[in-house]
Amino acid sequence: MSLRLGAVQLLCRKMSTFSTVQRGAEATESFRLFFRNGNGAAISPFHDIPLLNDPDKHVFNMVCEVPRFSNAKMEMATKEPLNPIKQDIKKGKLRYVANVFPYHGYLWNYGAIPQTWEDPGHKDARTECNGDNDPIDVCEIGHRIGKRGDVIAVKLLGALAMIDEGETDWKIICIDVNDPLAEKLNDVADVEREMPGLLDATVRWFRVYKMPDGKPENKFAFNDEFQSAEFARSVVMETHEQWKALVNKQTSSELAISNTCLGNESSVDSEKADSTVSAAAETGPSAPISASVDTWRYC
């Protein structure tokens, strides 16, 4: 199965500089962060940002949804046109991850690899669980605290197979190729050598982060062990194929697949894409955040 690349998509591949446009107000349900390419055209971070930054060197693109040490659970709005980043909502409330002692917020720059999708109709033979219906998640472990909406060139170092409420929810460990440690890190063993304790902390964080909300601890395949960089690349490429099936309408889904670069029947012109951004709520000042977000929780 292949996805045809029209002239428009080839142009988008050359537009490696991306920017964001905020609509609505932070810490409210109205907040949306839209993306534009180097030409200023509105795009979907889910569908229009290329999977690969440098195919010859196995360098991938990552969209940063949650900067390290922050608590707001932000994610691409996969069911909305152009898939802006928004804050997740559960039971009518904005979601914040708890500070489970001794961790504050997320341990890494957290986000997703564009043009990937974990198909909920596909059972992974290795985990015996279906996908979680989202782009594949990544944890960028470099020294720089990213910004929401950053598009970061990363190399993959390993994979953790988390089972979240019966669904496969891969967590890919990666590092910014421009990080000072990037040359020394090529696989999970290198991470343990250069950044001792980080992988163990990552497993524990994912195991317990929902427990303060009354959820059971998460489980993992492969005896809680990280898999290799080669394994991680194979998982990402599998989810890329599942994404191709999604945008080519070869699988049924309620997700929004409008785009400006793929040159398929779901593509929209720049005028319609701009109207989607303009129709979102007016930009406003951030709302106050409850002090309870900074509370320590113990598990």
The answer to whether residue 209 sits within a structural domain is: yes
Instruction: Catalogue the E-assigned strands of the chain.
Output: 19-23, 32-36, 42-43, 52-54, 59-66, 74-76, 85-87, 89-90, 93-94, 99-100, 109-112, 123-124, 129-131, 137-140, 151-164, 167-176, 219-220, 296-297
The answer to whether residue 137 sits within a structural domain is: yes
| CA dihedral over 84, 247, 108, 98, signed as positive or negative | positive
Measured CA angle at 11 (ends 9, 15), to 5 deg = 110
Please tell me the pTM assigned to this model: 0.94
pLDDT tens-digit map of 160-199: 999 998 999 999 999 999 999 999 999 999 999 999 999 9
Domain that holds residue 91: 54-257
**CATH number of residue 132's parent domain:** 3.90.80.10
The answer to whether residue 238 sits within a structural domain is: yes
The answer to whether residue 18 sits within a structural domain is: no
The answer to whether residue 179 sits within a structural domain is: yes
pLDDT at position 12, please?
57
pLDDT 10s digit of each residue in the chain, 299 long?
344 444 444 445 545 689 999 999 999 999 999 999 999 999 999 999 999 999 999 999 999 999 999 999 999 999 999 999 999 999 999 999 999 999 999 999 999 999 999 999 999 999 999 999 999 999 999 999 999 999 999 999 999 999 998 999 999 999 999 999 999 999 999 999 999 999 999 999 999 999 999 999 999 999 999 999 999 999 999 999 999 999 999 999 999 999 999 999 999 999 999 999 999 999 999 999 999 999 999 98
The answer to whether residue 151 sits within a structural domain is: yes
Distance CA 95, CA 27 (A): 10
The answer to whether residue 275 sits within a structural domain is: no
Q: What SS3 state is found at 19?
A: strand
CB 162 within 8 A of CB 171: yes
Q: How many domains does the chain have?
A: 1
Phi, psi angle pair for 84, to nearest 5°: -65, 165
The answer to whether residue 241 sits within a structural domain is: yes
